[in-house]
Structure formats: structure tokens, C-alpha cells
Amino acid sequence: MEKRWKILETDKAKAQALQKALSISLPLCHILVQRGIDTFQKAKDYFRPQLSQLHDPFLMKDMEKAVKRILFAINNNQKILVFGDYDVDGTTSVATMYRFLKKIYKEENLDFYIPHRYREGYGVSKRGIDFAKENDFDLIISLDCGIKSIELIQYARTIGLDFIVCDHHLPDDELPPATAILNPKQKDCNYPFKELCGCGVGFKLVMALSQTLGLHENEYLCYLDLVVTAIGADIVPITGENRVLAFYGLQRLNSSPCAGIKALIKLSKIENHFSINNVVFIIAPRVNAAGRMDDATKAVRMFIEDDCEKAMAFAEMLHSDNTDRKDADSSITEEALSMIANNAEMASRKTTVVFQSHWHKGVVGIVASRLIETYYRPTVVLTLGEKIVGGSARSVPGFNLYEAIHACREHLIGYGGHFAAAGMSMHPENVDAFSKKFEEVVSLSIDPYLLVPELIINAEITFKHINQIFYKIVEQMEPYGPENMRPVFITRNVTSTSWSRVVKEQHVRFVVKNENVTMTGIGFNMAEKFPLMQMNQPIDMVYTLDENEWNGEKNIQLKVIDIRLSACNTA
């Protein structure tokens, strides 16, 4: 699939001033300025994160109320239920809060609750509230959910249950009638950093409780392995406080993780340093698979288990769920791609809507994302539940998917979501009408250029820029994530050598020259571009940098993303 190349603009004067202050390569200063790092002090904070940069938790609206209510429960022998969502952010949030409360309170007065994805749905559930009432709980602490559960929290209040809501999703104008609401996105909350994940908000409550009780900071910093797992999985910006939490969380995860994470790392068979990338692609899918394929309660049990053997047993269950998830994901994606390829009308649309009654509802969102990799356009994947069709939608960057779904509401029973992702339900007889309406709405409203993937490039360099010092600084920009992605470089007028070749029929091993410097690289799934290398003409190459280890020797290599003939460059 051809991509639009976009080289980011930089304030050149700021980049040059930063280079004088830091004495590092100018292209790297360009990238730092793009990320809002334009002074020596900002660069120091960025490259050398300190725990002292974490904000006072009591700056968050209602923090004092939340701490007082929890301590009142403890002092009055009340029962506390920790409630959280079934994804990584929710299960790590619950595990963090439960483990901390168990440290300061008697275990028989504590429990946790994870709603079942299919029986109860997302967020605070009536079944969960009824469970709390039937088991004599007095206080529910909801994590990673609750900010929109106005009616349910009102119901809890009428039956004598108090709620503390810890959430990071965008609040509506009306808030639930909770005892305390911790959410930095509230309009009147003065907390300096707005982009915490759900586990991050819960962590700040644990931090506030620790400080109030006069505990050592290690009594809350010990949960940073869980916090970084949530940060990586929930795709929140790796800036500000999240960068500090992720930086120290990775240290914790690599030195002394909880038994559950240690078990997942062991199952992954990765023996070197675990990165945020490993969190996203190895830990997160296994934890999410529990809720997608079965019940996410076992993910929490794994995270709170201290016994390594028992934690491994739970980790193996998650590993098995993930294998089932991958099988379902793979087979459904293959079937959906075949449906589109064999239907000329579907293939030529500006949207994808596919439906089969037997598809597993736990993976339709993943399949929608997979289909976008081949057919880059707003996508809906539907399956049949109990007499009702349900599904997930994913967008392409820049297009408001929620508004498009909203415009099709006449064919829907229910829907919800945001700019980039949504879910919906409908009667089976409405699938065709929905599909036609969705295509009509998107076709009329989407800018054509949004249907071509955009490749963001940070800086233009030559191969002469690339050395160990340059690469070391790129490495120190980790942990990577939204708003702090791995730097993407472009080098123009690159020539191939006779050593470049296709490997394993799909990939390209590059051996290329620029300004008399030879570099090696790998381009995954780029075999179709190899004929460009055989034309013996200069090419422009877009890539990231990483390190390749072979026979105990490490070398910098290019991880090639795209190539073009130099004369065809339209960046």
C-alpha cells in the first residue's frame, strides 16, 4: 500500500539554540523541539526522569475526600470492594489497589470484582453492585470506569453503597453522585497532568493513602510494574508524568516484577531487557485475551498472587486464552479478507462492513484493525450474539468514526465510542441497510487523502550522521509511545549494492550506501518493493534505527519502513 510521506516541520532557530545547549547532533535537536523540548532544563527532565517530578496526588480534585472515606471504612471495620474493567488498564488498576489495601487492612474485609465482558458489558454493572450489597460491602472503589455510570451509582446510593470513582475517560457535563471522583479530566480539576491511564489515577490514590499514613515511598513505588503495563497497553501519551512512571516502571519490571508479570515474561522466552514494546505486544495481549475469550478475573488473580507457582498457573491460562484469541483472530481475518477480495463492489468501497454469524465477538475489534492494514478505510466487523448482531468499528486517523456511526443510528439498537473506535448493536435484518448507509455517510464526508496511510518522518539525515553516539541518544529517548514515538528518519539518494536480497520470500535484507557509508537493514513484508532496488537508481529510504546482534557482536541497523525512487519523491 502506497503511503503519504510527511516530514515534520521544526522551528530551526530553537533547534540550533538547543544544539548549542546540548552539544548533540542537530537532527536530534529538531526531533526534541518537535516534542516540545526546547531548553536545556526540559531536555534534562526528558532524558533524566526523576521520581521527584511526580505531582502531589492531593492536587487532584476530591483526593482528600477519597482518602478520608477509605480511612473511615478501615477505622469502622467496613467492607471495601475494588471494582475494575476487564482490560489491561482495569485489571492492573484493581490489582494495584487490592494489593495495597491488603497491606494496610484485613483481607477478610476486602474483595475485588471484574464484570464479565459479555454478560455484564463495559464498566460499572448492576450485577456488580448487587454482588456488593448481597455480601455486605459498604464502599466500592471503581477503577478505569464509572465516570459515565450516573444511574447505576445513583442506584448504589439508594441501597446504601458509597462509591469512589477513579477514572480517566472524558466526563460528561453531568457527573455520577459518588462520594469522591478522581479524574484529572474534570473541568474543575487542577491536577497538572491530564493524561494518566486508569491505573495511573488509582496509583495516585495509593500514593495519597501512603503519604497520609506516613508510609515509606517504596510501599507504593513497588506497584510501578503494574502501572507501566497499563500505560503501555492503554496507549496513553508517554509524556510528562506518564514518562516518569513508565521509565521507573520498566526498571521495576526488569528488576523485581510481581510474580504474575515474572511468569508472563518467562512464558514469552525473552531473556534480554523488557521494553515498552514488549509490554504492548507480549504482556498486554495475554492479559486482554482473558476478558476477550473467557473471564478477566484470572488476570487479577495472577497479578495479586505472591506464590510463583500459582502465578505461573494463572499466566498459563492467559497464555492459552491468547493462543485461542490468535487462532480466532487469524481465521476470521482470513475469511473477511477473502469476502472482500471476491466481491468487486465491496473491494471498491470507501468503507468495509463484514458480517458472519459464527465469528467470535471477543476479537471483532482486533479483526477490524487487521482489515485496515490491507484496506485502509473505516471498518466495521459484525457477528451474531443472542438474536442481536453486535460489532466493533475502527477508523483511520483523522476521520471521526463516532459521528459516522451516529448518522446511521436509525438502523441501530445501541452504539457508543469515540473518534477512533466504536461499538454497535442492531437487528440482523438491518445489517445490509446499515452497511449501505455507513458507506453513503463516509463517502460524502471523508477527505480522499485520509484513505491513504500517512507516514510521519521526523528528520532528514545522511548515513554519516549514524554512529554509536547518535544511536545512544536515540535509545535514551525511550520509553516510546504516543507523542514520543521512535524517531523516523529519511535518507535521500541511497544506492543499493549487490548484497541486498529477498529473505523468506516476504522480507528484504538491505545492504545500501549513502555518501560512501554502507549500512545494512531489514524491511519486513517489503518483498514487493525489491524491484525498485534492482533498477540501479537512487532511492529515498524511510527507516528507524535499532541494534542487531549476531554472534555476540552488536551493530546499528536500519529498520526500513518504505522506499521510493528519488526522482518520484513527493514528500
DSSP 350-398: SSEEEE-TTS-GGGHHHHHHHHHHHS-S-EEEEEE-SSSEEEEEE--TT
What whole-number distance in Å separates Cα of residue 178 and Cα of residue 150? 9
Q: How many CB atoms lie within 10 A of CB 137?
A: 23
Asked if pLDDT for residue 567 goes beyond 80, the answer is: no
4 strand-pairing partners: 454
> In this predicted model, what pLDDT tens digit does every residue of 36-45 receive, in sequence order?
999 999 999 9
Asked if pLDDT for residue 352 goes beyond 80, the answer is: yes
Task: Provide the residue type at 174 as one letter.
Answer: E
Confidence tier at 83 by pLDDT (50, 70, 90): very high
Asked if pLDDT for residue 230 goes beyond 60, the answer is: yes
Looking up cell 497491606, which residue turns up? 103
* Nearest residue to 85 via CA among 70, 77, 95: 95
- Specify whether the CB–CB gap between 353 and 382 falls below 8 A: yes
Asked if pLDDT for residue 304 goes beyond 60, the answer is: yes
What whole-number distance in Å separates Cα of residue 489 and Cα of residue 458? 6
For 497-502, the CB contacts below 8 A with 24+ separation are 500/530, 500/533, 502/527, 502/530
pLDDT average, residue stretch 90-117:
96
- Specify whether the CB–CB gap between 394 and 372 falls below 8 A: yes
Asked if pLDDT for residue 126 goes beyond 80, the answer is: yes
Q: What is the pLDDT of residue 568?
A: 53
What whole-number distance in Å separates Cα of residue 405 and Cα of residue 415? 8
What whole-number distance in Å separates Cα of residue 462 and Cα of residue 223? 43
pLDDT average, residue stretch 371-378:
96
> In this predicted model, what pLDDT tens digit does every residue of 461-518 receive, in sequence order?
999 999 999 999 999 999 999 999 999 999 999 999 999 999 999 999 999 999 999 9
Asked if pLDDT for residue 175 goes beyond 60, the answer is: yes
Phi/psi of residue 239, each to 5°?
-135, 170
pLDDT average, residue stretch 451-465:
96
For 325-328, the CB contacts below 8 A with 24+ separation are 325/285, 325/288, 325/289, 325/292, 325/293, 325/362, 325/363, 325/366, 328/293, 328/359, 328/360, 328/362, 328/363
H-assigned helices in 240-354: 240-255, 259-268, 276-278, 284-293, 297-304, 308-341, 344-347
- Specify whether the CB–CB gap between 164 and 97 falls below 8 A: no
- Specify whether the CB–CB gap between 260 and 305 falls below 8 A: yes
Question: Where exactly are the structural domains of the chain?
Answer: 4-10+455-568, 57-320, 343-451
Q: How many CB atoms lie within 10 A of CB 432?
A: 12
Asked if pLDDT for residue 569 goes beyond 80, the answer is: no
Q: DSSP state, 281?
A: I
Q: DSSP state, 529?
A: G
What whole-number distance in Å separates Cα of residue 321 and Cα of residue 331? 15
What whole-number distance in Å separates Cα of residue 51 and Cα of residue 216? 14
- Topology of the domain covering 57-320: inorganic pyrophosphatase (n-terminal core) (3.90.1640)
CATH code of the region 343-451: 3.10.310.30
- State yes or no: cis peptide before 479, omega within 30 of 0: yes
2 against 400, higher pLDDT: 400
Phi/psi of residue 117, each to 5°?
-55, -40
- Specify whether the CB–CB gap between 460 and 216 falls below 8 A: no
Confidence tier at 294 by pLDDT (50, 70, 90): confident
What whole-number distance in Å separates Cα of residue 329 and Cα of residue 516? 46
Phi/psi of residue 165, each to 5°?
-100, 120
Architecture of domain 4-10+455-568: Beta Barrel (2.40)
126: Cα within 13 Å, side-chain hemisphere: 4
Grid cell in block for residue 244: 516518569
What whole-number distance in Å separates Cα of residue 362 and Cα of residue 256? 32
Asked if pLDDT for residue 189 goes beyond 80, the answer is: yes
What whole-number distance in Å separates Cα of residue 437 and Cα of residue 445? 12
